[in-house]
Amino acid sequence: MTQLKERLRQAHHVVALTGAGVSAESGVPTFRGEGGLWRSHRAVDLATPEAFARDPRLVWAFYNWRRELLGPLSPNPGHRALAAMERRFPRFTLVTQNIDNLHQEAGSRNVLELHGNIWRVRCTRCAVTSEDRRVPLPELPTCGVCGGLLRPDVVWFGEALDPEVLERVYEGLRSCDLMLVIGTSAVVQPAASMGLYARKHGAFVAEINLEPTPFSSMLDVSLLGKAGEILPRLVEPEAA
């Protein structure tokens, strides 16, 4: 912790990558393991373009349920600490695998969403995106521009990440002098190897997670614990 605090004091450009572990502390389900079921369906089987093409009503019912779960949830101390970091450093880039918008609700402004946002919709015909926080949405919501079927503006299994978002992410990884990898299991690419990429380009990389990951031993620092407990300690003022 002391070494990381000292590095943060010297940093000019910080990149933070957050995964499901950060949102889990606010009560967001991770859909991993035995509990990852909804109406006897595996959640990962519904989050695909094929599932949406086959039964859009079922997929929208799943996402409406997820939106109902997320609606009452609030950012936790980890989210708020990252928003405070953004105000502190000359450059701060927040990259998230989460789709819940909790970083923005905590006050973060420069957020790069790798997997989209559950509170946005995208037209399957004209590709227009817009925010829509209605809960629930109509059973089959349609586009106000062209009348096409709307889908959640999230990245499903089998879909490519937004190349413009990725380019901005990798520009940050190449130019940062410190990176925080927080609450990610380090199994989903390309996010899993971003810490190593930043370290290869000269950054000091620290991992904050409940348990070690496959990359823990390859990074500069690995802190075990809750993001909501560790991150506030990194931004609190030093005692005189």
**124 burial level (CB within 10 Å; 0-12, 13-18, 19+):** middle
126 is in an annotated binding site: yes
147 is in an annotated binding site: no
185 is in an annotated binding site: yes
172 is in an annotated binding site: no
CA distance 36 to 29: 8
8 is in an annotated binding site: no
Please list the residues that pair with 120 across neighbouring strands. Answer: 131
Sheet holding 91-96, edge to edge: 111-113, 91-96, 13-18, 178-182, 204-209, 221-224
Structure tokens at 48: 């695909």
**Active-site residue, 115 included:** yes
Contact 212, 187 (CB under 8 A): no
Catalytic one of 13, 79, 103, 115: 115
176 is in an annotated binding site: no
60 is in an annotated binding site: no
106 is in an annotated binding site: no
**3-state SS assignment for residue 231:** helix
21 is in an annotated binding site: yes
List residues forming the annotated binding site for Zn(2+): 123, 126, 143, 146
By annotation, the residues acting in catalysis are 115
List residues forming the annotated binding site: 19-38, 63, 66, 97-100, 123, 126, 143, 146, 183-185, 209-211, 227
List residues forming the annotated binding site for NAD(+): 19-38, 97-100, 183-185, 209-211, 227
